Structure formats: C-alpha cells, structure tokens
Amino acid sequence: DAKTTQPTSMDCAEGRAANLPCNHSTISGNEYVYWYRQIHSQGPQYIIHGLKNNETNEMASLIITEDRKSSTLILPHATLRDTAVYYCIVRVAQDDKIIFGKGTRLHILP
C-alpha cells in the first residue's frame, strides 16, 4: 500500500504558485520523498525528490517539514501545461518496489 496521503484534487489560478501537500507520517529515516506528475495519456514524469533538506530544480521546489511527516511541492508560476495528476511517493534508496498512491489532480484555471 502507498504510504502517502494527498488531496484528491486542487485548483490553482494560472500564474500563481501551486502548493501541493503530501502527508507521509510513517516515513522512516532512510526514506526519500519523490514527486512525479502524469499529464493525460502520458507516462509519469519525475519532478523532484529529497530526504530532509528543501530542494529546488528548474521545475519545482520541495519543502519537507522538520519532522519529515509531510512535504509540499511548489510550482512557482503555474501554467495551463501544469494541469496533471501529481504523485508523492516515499521509498528507501535501492528499494525497487515503487508504489503509487492516488495522487492529486491539479487543475490550472485560466
């Protein structure tokens, strides 16, 4: 079973920051948090991952709480192309079994 809980859906206005929460209250010390997104009819795409420090790349920022029980994916300036299902996954490095939860369906509103 997935170890994460995410809201089923969210709306965000175009140009605004989209903040997607993920709860992983049972995360263990060696588990990473990964985010993927899936645009309709495509395979999921990697966005970002982290262990305990906040991370930023060209796509997004990942904020992990100090107790690591939750995290937030931030898309700083959402565009219509960011409309997708966003999946938060926790996994141990070198654990090949990767289970997807239900994800959050993000709608970017024009």
> What radius of gyration do the chain's Cα atoms show?
13
Give the DSSP per-residue string, 2-22.
Answer: ---B--SEEEEETTSPEEEEE
Token pair of 62 as six digits: 């990942």
Task: Count interface residues toward other proteins (CB under 8 A).
Answer: 21
Q: Tell me: does residue 101 bind other proteins (CB under 8 A).
A: yes
Q: Which stretch binds other proteins (CB under 8 A): 10-18, 36-44, 62-70, 72-80?
A: 36-44
CB atoms within 10 A of CB 8: 8
Select from 22, 86, 88, 103 the one that contacts other proteins (CB under 8 A): 103
Q: Tell me: does residue 34 bind other proteins (CB under 8 A).
A: yes
Sites of contact with other proteins (CB under 8 A)? 2, 34, 36, 41-46, 49, 87, 93-94, 96-103
